[in-house]
Every structure is written in structure tokens, then in C-alpha cells.
Amino acid sequence: MLNALRAALLALCVFMWLPGQAYGQGPQCAPRDAILQSLAKNYKEAPVNMGVVSTGALLEVLVSLSGSWTIIVTMPGGATCLVSSGEGWRTVPVKDEGPAV
């Protein structure tokens, strides 16, 4: 399970560095509390997963019961930025395949 979580976080970190849809816009950043409050109020999203990436940034996945989702990253300096968002979030069970070789 730990290896699956690490693989998922690595994939998200790589995804963070890919160009976004709006090439002319800069990142949407604000204090973490303000972003969490806005996502809770406007989309009913709450954190369901989080992890610290190799740069020391905190990566969080927020999800609503309706399936909307947002990924945010809080930098060690304090700024929190939106990375991506979408619809149709589904939780996939992790299979225990025994000890890693």
C-alpha cells in the first residue's frame, strides 16, 4: 500500500510540472486556509489524502461527495496553489500484493 501511495504521489508531482490548460494564466495561489474555506463553501470539497513531496511541499487531494476534486500544493514558504481540478473522482481499492522485492 505504501508503494502504491508513493507511486501516486510521484505521478501527481510529475503532473504538477506539465503545462496547464490556461497557458496565459499564472498559478492561482492564496493562503491555505482561504483556499480550503473557498473549496468547502463553493464545492463542498474536503481533504481526503495528503503527503509531503521531495521538495518539502504538502500535496493534498480534496474531494466532494458529488465527485468533484481539487489538488493543491502548499509550498514550504507558505503559499498554497491550485494544481488541478475535475469531476468524477473515484476511490480505487489498493490490492495488497505482498512484500516488495
Judge whether 59 and 12 are in contact, CB under 8 Å: yes
Q: What is the pLDDT at residue 94?
A: 85
Within 8 A by CB and 6+ apart from 27, the residues are: 81, 82
Q: How many CB atoms sit inside 10 A of residue 71's CB?
A: 18
Domains defined along the chain, listed by start: 2-17+26-86 (3.30.160)
Longest CA pairwise span in the chain (Å) = 46
What pLDDT digit, counting tens, does each position of 48-63 carry?
A: 999 999 999 999 999 9
Q: Is 60 buried (19+), middle (13-18) or exposed (0-12) by CB count in 10 A?
A: buried
pTM beyond cutoff 0.75: no
State the pLDDT confidence band at 26, using cuts at 50, 70 and 90: low
